[in-house]
Structure 1
C-alpha cells in the first residue's frame, strides 16, 4: 500500500471505532477496558501504527495452517508452553485452513462446514483455557464462523473469570 492508502485506511478505522479503541499507552487489563469503555484493540501491522496512540503495532497471530482440529490444538498447546510471543498478548487463532489435499478429498465441502464440524471439539478446548497475566494465559482468541456457536458466551465467561 502507498502512504495515501495507509492514511485513508487508518482514518476510516479510527472513524469507525472512535472512543472504543484502546490506546497503546499501557498493557490493558479487562477491568481497564471496561472502566474506559474500550472494546477494540486495533493492531496495524505497519510502521504507520507508531504515529497513532490508538493503534497497536502488529500482534503476532498463531494458527496452525491445518485442516485438522487436533493438529491445531496440538500446535497451540506447544505455543502456550513456549510462553507469550510478545510482551502483551497471546493470540490463539482457532482457524482451520484448507489445503489442496483437503479440497480435493472434500470437493463439496466449504471452509465454513469444515470449521463448524470441528466446532464442538475446539470449543471444549477454549472452555479449559485460563485468561490473565500468566505467560501461558490466552488473551485473545480469534475464530472463523462464530455466529452460530457458543464461542461468544464461552469467551465472555473466561473474561468474567478474570474479575472475580
Structure 2
C-alpha cells in the first residue's frame, strides 16, 4: 500500500465503471486533463470480407478477388472485442471511421470501415452505445466520427445531416455540448455522459464537437512511433481541448506495404501484441514529462493497456 501525506490511494476495482471510482479530487478537473483509454479503429473487429476494398489504394483494384479481401482483413483487424466488451473493459474513447458502401440501396445507411466496411451499420452500433450509456450514467463516452469515405458530392450534405440528426435524436439530453468545459461532476450533475466529435467542416449544432486532434507515430516501427509522438506531445498538444495520443502502428502507404501483408504466417494483431508492452512502458515514462489525455491503442482490451492508462490518474497524484 502506498500513501501520500497520510492518505491512502484509492484504487479502481472495476474498469467497467472506473470513472465513478476515481478519487473526489479528480471530479472537478477538466476531462481534458484526465487520462482516458481509447480504441483505435474501434469497429475493425466487424470487418466484412465480402465488402469492396476501400484502402489501401494499391489493392483497391483487386476488390473482386477473395484472397485480396482476406489479406486486407488480416492486416486491418486492430480490435478483437465487440463495442460492448470494449465498454465493459473500460474503453471510453472510440475512433469511428464512417463509410458509404458501394451499391448500397438504402439512401441513408452507413457503415464503419478500416480497409473493408463492417457488417454492422452505424445506426445499429450507436444504439448499442446509447443503451450502455443508459446503464452506466457516470461513465463519460467520447465518440469521434471521421473520414466519411464514399460520400458522393451530390449526397454528402444529405448524409451528414441525416447522421447528425440521428445522433441528436438518439442521445438527446445525454449529449454534453461544446462551449462548456466538461468535468466528471458537471457531467454527472447534468445527466450528460456522451460527447460526440464530428470531423466535417460545415457548421455543426451545439451538441456536436469539432474534430479531436489525433497524434500518431505514422510508422510500424515502435521506436519511430515513440519518437514522433514525443515530439508532437511536447510541441503541439492543446491544453484546453481533448487530444489523443495514438499508440497504433501504421503500415506503409506505398508499395512497401506488400512487405508486410504478403507474410503468410503473420498478421497485424500479432505485430501489435509484440509491440504493445514496450509502448505501454513508454506511455508511463512520457506521462512524467507531458500530460496525457486520451490514449488510444489497437487491441485495447488486451493485457494491461486499460489499467495502465487509468492508473496514470491515480499515480500522478500519489
Do they fold alike, i.e. is TM over 0.5? yes
Shorter-chain TM range is 0.7 to 0.9
Structure 2 partner of 1:119: 276
CA distance in 2 between counterparts of 1:161 and 1:18 reads 35
Relative distance call for 1:153 and 1:38 in structure 2 (3 A) is: farther
CA distance in 2 between counterparts of 1:112 and 1:122 reads 15
Query: Is the contact between residue 21 and residue 40 of structure 1 (CA under 8 Å) also seen in structure 2?
Result: yes
Structure 2 partner of 1:156: 310
Higher relative contact order (CA 8 A, sep 6+): 2
Deviation at 1:25, TM superposition (A): 2.1
Higher percent of residues as strand:
2
Mapping of residues 31-46 of structure 1, within 5 Å: 31-33=185-187, 36=190, 38-46=192-200
Mapping of residues 1-164 of structure 1, within 5 Å: 1=151, 2-14=156-168, 17-33=171-187, 36=190, 38-48=192-202, 50-85=203-238, 87-99=240-252, 100-101=255-256, 103-105=258-260, 107-108=263-264, 109-130=266-287, 136-161=290-315
Deviation at 1:26, TM superposition (A): 2.1
Aligned residues: 160
Larger Rg: 2
Query: Is the contact between residue 230 and residue 286 of structure 2 (CA under 8 Å) also seen in structure 1?
Result: no
Query: Is the contact between residue 43 and residue 57 of structure 1 (CA under 8 Å) also seen in structure 2?
Result: yes
Structure 1 partner of 2:110: none
Q: RMSD value over aligned CA atoms?
A: 3.0
Higher percent of residues as helix:
1
Which sections of structure 2, spanning at least 5 residues, go unmatched?
1-150
The Cα offsets for residues 92-123 of structure 1, whole Å up to 9 and x where unpaired, read as 11110122435415613222211111010011
Deviation at 1:77, TM superposition (A): 0.7
Deviation at 1:38, TM superposition (A): 4.8
For normalisation by structure 2, the TM-score amounts to 0.43
The Cα offsets for residues 73-104 of structure 1, whole Å up to 9 and x where unpaired, read as 11111112214157413321111012243541
For normalisation by structure 1, the TM-score amounts to 0.77
